[in-house]
Structures are given as C-alpha cells and as structure tokens.
Amino acid sequence: MTKKPFTLPPCAAGCATAQLELFAAPTLVPAEPAEVAEFDFDNHDVVIVGDSGGKDSGATVHEVCTRADQAGALHKVRILHCDLGTTERGHLVEWPGALDVARAHAAQYGVPFAVRRSTLWSSLWQRIRSHGNWPGYFARYCTSDLKTAVGRDYVDEVGAELRLGRPVRAGYAMGMRAEESPARAKKPVLERHRMSGKGTLRVVTTWLPVHQLSTAQVWKLHQDNDIGHHEAYDQGMRRLSCRACPLAHTDDLVRSAQLNPELFQEYADAEAAMGHQFKKSISLREIIERARS
C-alpha cells in the first residue's frame, strides 16, 4: 500500500458500458436500491477492479484500494486484466506493455493480480473476423464477449474459491467517467443487481469510483501518488484501450497508426477483406494515409 499522502476526490459516492449493462442484467429477485451513496465493503466478499492498463484504470485502482484500506478491507480487493490476445499476424490487439502497467498497479497497492482471457475466443481479432464486421456503438460485442463475460467468469471463479456456501457478493469497479460521454454521465456510481443465470451464483455491485473525476484530476492522482502510466500517453495518445478501436477519436487513431504501422496495415487488409468500413466517418486506408502525411 502506498504511503504517500493523497487527496480524495469529490466523488465520494470503461469500453465499460457493456460491462455495466451485463452486470445490470435482468434480476430474478426483488430489485435492490438503484443507487447507494457509498460502497459498502462490509457487505461484499470481494471487490474486483477491471484494469486495462489505462489512466482511468490506474485512478480506479487507487480509489478502490485507498477506500478499502481505510475500511480495513484491502484484503478483499483483486485486480483483473482481460487479455484481448493477438491478431492473425501476431500483433497484440492491446498496446504492448498495457498488461505490465496493470500488474504494476496491483503491485503498488499490494493486491492480487489476475489475467484472464475469453474461453470462447482466442482473441478479439478472432471475434471480429468471425463476426465479419467491426464493433460499433450499437454492436459492442467486443466488450461484452472479451471483457464482460471474462469478468463474470472471474467473479464465479473467486466465488468458487471462497467456498461461501452461498452466492458471492462481489463489487466490480470500472474506470468509466462522466466526462467521456453524455451516456456515461448518466450512469449511476453504484448499481447493485443480482445477475441472472442458472443457479444465481453471484450478486454484483458495479462501482464507478472515478465517475466524477475530470481528466486533469485523473492525471493529478497519478502525479500525487506515483501511479504508473503507459508510455503511449507520453507519445500523444489520449486514451489507451485497443490500439485500433472503431469507437476512438480519429485523431487518436491517426496517432496510433503512426505508432503501430504494421498493426494498422493488418486491420486495413481486414477492412478490405470484410467489405465494411472500420469507422463510419473514415476508413483505415484513410487513417493510414493521414498518419503518413
């Protein structure tokens, strides 16, 4: 646990939208209160933090571990990184080193770290090629299949490990922030649902501990607490996520194409093969042309 002093942000009360939606699946039991003011560590067996290796994940790990430590519950916290695998030509879908940054977050706060991958898909690349079209705002199969399902399975794995004799009560923290989009701004900081499914194995509370933080506040948390960040930010990227994400801002995609020319060429070849433009507003071919100009 870091000994450095830090300032808690005012929010005392992500690619994560689909994850949130899964954990808010239709209930088989009477609905829990839609939102509560504070995360209740006493009422949870475990708190899992989804860590992509990005800046919002780093801030989320800090917030969760800090508050857990204050509540005497740091032993309940675990960090999970969902590995998205490689492309057909062997390029990592994520930024190289993202997993290491996530691991370093866990090490800094002295909590267990786990890496898990989809049991159905060897990689996001395989999932995309199987689908035959790119993910989009209304087709977030990438997060639902490669992150949400993996997180759900990890909750079950931890539940089985704890041998509670009842459904595990798990918090699932994500780095989604209101500033990112109007849709995300509407998300509650805490939402407790009993996930549907055979045997009702779990009760999951989704928690967005950095929901109200600005980008500047997220970086200040990193600075004040020596939280590690990925070098891609120093090279001009504003967000980490997948190196080529159809939902990313075009400027970030152009910068990423400059930093990852071989990966983008493979994506551009897939774009031609599938016959579907990568992003509504711009093709990968155009992104690569801009990156070269």
Catalog residues that contact ligand SF4 under the rule CB under 6 A: 15, 135, 142-143, 241-242, 245, 247
Q: Tokens 């995300």 correspond to what residue?
A: 184
Q: Tokens 């998205």 correspond to what residue?
A: 84
The nearest distance, CB 186 to ligand SF4, in angstroms, is 18
Q: How far is CA 36 from CA 33, 60, 113, 133, 171, in A?
A: 7, 18, 28, 39, 13
The nearest distance, CB 93 to ligand SF4, in angstroms, is 7
The nearest distance, CB 231 to ligand SF4, in angstroms, is 18
User: Do the strands 168-173 and 202-207 form a parallel or antiparallel pair, or are they unpaired?
Assistant: parallel
On whether the CB atoms of residues 96 and 262 are closer than 8 A, the answer is no
Nearer CB in complex with ligand SF4: 145/156:
145
Alpha helices in 243-283, H assignment, sequence order: 250-259, 261-274
In single-letter form, the type of residue at position 63 comes to E
Nearer CB in complex with ligand SF4: 52/225:
52
The nearest distance, CB 252 to ligand SF4, in angstroms, is 11
Nearer CB in complex with ligand SF4: 15/284:
15
Q: Tokens 């509670």 correspond to what residue?
A: 164
The nearest distance, CB 84 to ligand SF4, in angstroms, is 7
Nearer CB in complex with ligand SF4: 217/241:
241
Q: How far is CA 123 from CA 9, 92, 145, in A?
A: 36, 9, 10
Nearer CB in complex with ligand SF4: 149/245:
245
